[in-house]
Amino acid sequence: MDDDSAPRGLDDDNDDPLGLEPGESILAQLNASYAGRFERELNLPGSDRRPTPTPTSATMGSILRGGSMGGMSAMHRPRMTGVGRYLQWQHHAASVGFPVAGMAMLLGVSERRLLVYRATFVRGRPKQLAGSLPLRRVVQAAASRRAVSSRVLFVLDGGGIVTLETMSYRRGRRFVDTLLTTRDAMGHSRES
């Protein structure tokens, strides 16, 4: 028996390259990327780590000789690079059941699912379905404006929160509106 509440991925049997089921179409799409700077506001695990300060030339010689910088060996000092922030975000997203398609991805909303695609490099079109989750698993969604970019936040059943960054607040808002309207319409059609 197929559990339709579980995220779907690339191993599913489907002839459609977009991973759409029969009678399903993409209603809205949004280019997005992980939001590494937002993790402190959500108190995600490991978000208390601070970036390592750059050593000065005076301490560099000591480090090369096996010394330490600030009382901790330079070889064992935790670092939070861009890749480290992404890996932390990826681990969190996967742990709450959100499909991950890499640092940059394309989101889609169909009549039944939130779709997550690997995007083509140049045009940001859907390249390969990384996974999906039923719309009923999305408890709430919101778009917020930031100084340079915008955020799209998903609250999943079970309390998981996933935040993505997007360049356009208006597109993010339209995507969220379509997702919530479609999800709510699904609930009303099941009740009738």
CA dihedral 32, 38, 44, 45 (to 10 degrees): 90
pTM higher than 0.75 for the full model?
Answer: no
The three-class DSSP label of residue 164 is strand
Sequence ranges of the domains in the chain = 28-52+74-191
Res. 98: pLDDT tops 90: yes
- 178 or 5: which carries more pLDDT confidence? 178
Res. 5: pLDDT tops 70: no
Residue type, 130: A
* 86, 137, 141, 172 from 181: Cα distances, Å: 30, 14, 11, 14
Q: For position 80, what pLDDT does the model report?
A: 57
Q: What is the mean pLDDT of residues 138-150?
A: 90
Q: For position 3, what pLDDT does the model report?
A: 47
Domain 28-52+74-191 has CATH 3.40.50.150: no
Could you give the maximum distance between any two Cα atoms of the chain, in Å?
Answer: 74
The three-class DSSP label of residue 36 is helix
